[in-house]
Each structure stands twice: as C-alpha cells, then as structure tokens.
Amino acid sequence: MEKRYLTPAETVKTIVENGKRVLTQSRLRTLVLSLLAGFYIAFGAQLATVVTQDAAALLGKGIAALLGGSVFSLGLMLVVICGAELFTGNSLLTSSALHGEITWGKLLENWGIVIVGNLAGSLFFAGLMFESQLWMNGKIAEDAIRIATAKCQLPFAVALVRGILCNWLVCLAVFMATAARDVTGKILACYMPIMAFVASGFEHSIANMYYIPTGLLLSSELGRTAPALTWTTFFLDNLLPVTIGNILGGVVFVASAYWYVHLKVDLPRSS
C-alpha cells in the first residue's frame, strides 16, 4: 500500500530534487507558469474581498478574518495542484542551492523571472476585475480601497516582520503539500497555514500585487484621494519590505532550517 505522506526528511529531499527543474526549464515556460500563479493568488484575494466586505459588521472581526483566510487559501491550492511558479513558494529552492543541486545564479534568475511574471499576472487580473464592474456590488469597492490604503500605511519594519511571518507559513504549507500524496491531503495542507496567515494579518507580496493596484484603480475611478495610496507607496512602502520579509521567512525558517536538520549531514566533509 502506498504511503499517504512523506516524512520530513523525505519531503526535503523531494523539494531539493524538484528544485533541479530550473536547470532544464525554459525561461518562457517559467514566465508562463509565474503568470498563472499571479492569476491564482489574485483569484483568492478577490474572493476574500467579496466574502469579507460586510462580514465584520455581521459576525465580528475575528470570524470575518477566519472567513477571509479560508477562501483566500484557494489561491495556493490552485498553484500547488494545477502547477504554477509562485515567488514566495520558490523560497524553498534555496534548499537545492544549499545542497549544491543548482547554482545560486540559477536560483536568482528563477526568482527574478517569477516575481516579474507574478506581478504581471496580478496586474492583469486587477484590470479584469476592474472592467468586470463587480466592485459596484455592495461595499466591495470601499473595502478594496480600505485594504490597499492600510497596507501602504504600514511602517517599513512592521511590513517587513509581517512579511517574514507570512512566508514562514506559506512555505510550511508548500512543504506539507509536498509531503501529501493525494489531492485531498494537498488541499488540507494548503488550507490551514494560508488561513492562519491571512486571518492573522500577515503580508504576502504577491497578494499585495493584486490588492493594492485594485485599490488604486478604484480610488481613481471613484475620485477618492488618499495620500498614502499611490504607486510609489505601493512599491516602496509595501512591496519592498514585504518582499524582503517573505524571502527571509521562507529561506531562513523553512528552506535552510529543514535542509540543515535533514540534509546537511549528508554532504561530504572536506579533508
């Protein structure tokens, strides 16, 4: 009977082996897969906005946050099960570089292509949602602007720390989904950590590539002036610190930690 899951040591080895795809995968294929990941995370983000637009008033902030996190987890489920290149999840490629299976140059090349593709996918999806005019229903537009403005008002250090905490959980979700051997297990592995990071209020760089541009588009359309909500504050005050935090959270607390615990002892010692 086939095992239902991999042990942590087996999971790390699988992640290292999976990382070797960057050696043969074309840049165009990586770009297309990263565009898809941008779409998928945006699907989760827009659904969370719709579901939570009035939930806090009816159910309380805690339950609203739980609902938002629950539906947002759709994004990572699509990435993991359908297959896509997500920048935050690709922090785990560090395990392959540490083990000498890929070069650090290949790692950075992958990250560069993927974050550009994720951004392009997120912006395209934000444009589609704007053109759909679904934001006219209920309080979706007001809530989208509020979310985007709040994110751009975070102090640099706060955004950085929230980014660390977010991708710590995201990479643990990918780690557990890798360990799961069936679709049901992968769905559950994605759900709990993603629900936890969204409900907790942590910051995800790729999700913010949808949330903040959507808020910018709607604030411009509705004539809402918000000094804190500009393209400059999006890139410098939110995306920059959150991205740095996401890298640190995934690389240090998941990829490097589990590589050290399970695989570093396997490396040949120099005489």
Residue 208 structure tokens: 């913010």
The residue-averaged pLDDT of 70-93 equals 98
Q: At what angle do helices 183-200 and 61-72 cross, to 10 degrees?
A: 140
Instruction: Give the C-alpha separation, 251 to 213, whole Å.
Output: 27
Enumerate the β-bridge partners of residue 178.
none
Report pLDDT for 226.
82
First-to-final CA distance of the chain? 43
What does the pLDDT look like over 181-211, one tens digit per residue? 999 999 999 999 999 999 999 999 999 999 9
Contact 203, 156 (CB under 8 A): no
Each residue's pLDDT tens digit, 92-115? 999 999 999 999 999 999 999 999
Instruction: Quickly count: other Cβ atoms within 10 Å of residue 131's Cβ.
Output: 9
pTM: 0.95
Q: Which domains does the chain have, with CATH numbers?
A: 8-264 (1.20.1080.10)
**DSSP states along the chain:** ---SB--HHHHHHHHHHHHGGGGTS-HHHHHHHHHHHHHHHHHHHHHHHHHHTTHHHHH-HHHHHHHHHHHHTHHHHHIIIII---TTGGGGGHHHHHTTSS-HHHHHHHHHHHHHHHHHHHHHHHHHHHHHTGGGSTTHHHHHHHHHHHHHTS-HHHHHHHHHHHHHHHHHHHHHHHHB-SHHHHHHHHHHHHHHHHHHT---HHHHHHHHHHHHHHHHHHT---TT-SHHHIIIIIIHHHHHHHHHHHIIIIIIHHHHHHTGGGSPPP-
What are the tens digits of pLDDT across the range 223-243?
988 889 999 999 999 999 999
Q: Is the pLDDT of residue 79 over 70?
A: yes
* Mean pLDDT for all residues in the chain: 95
**Residue whose C-alpha is closest to residue 219's, from 145, 118, 125:** 145
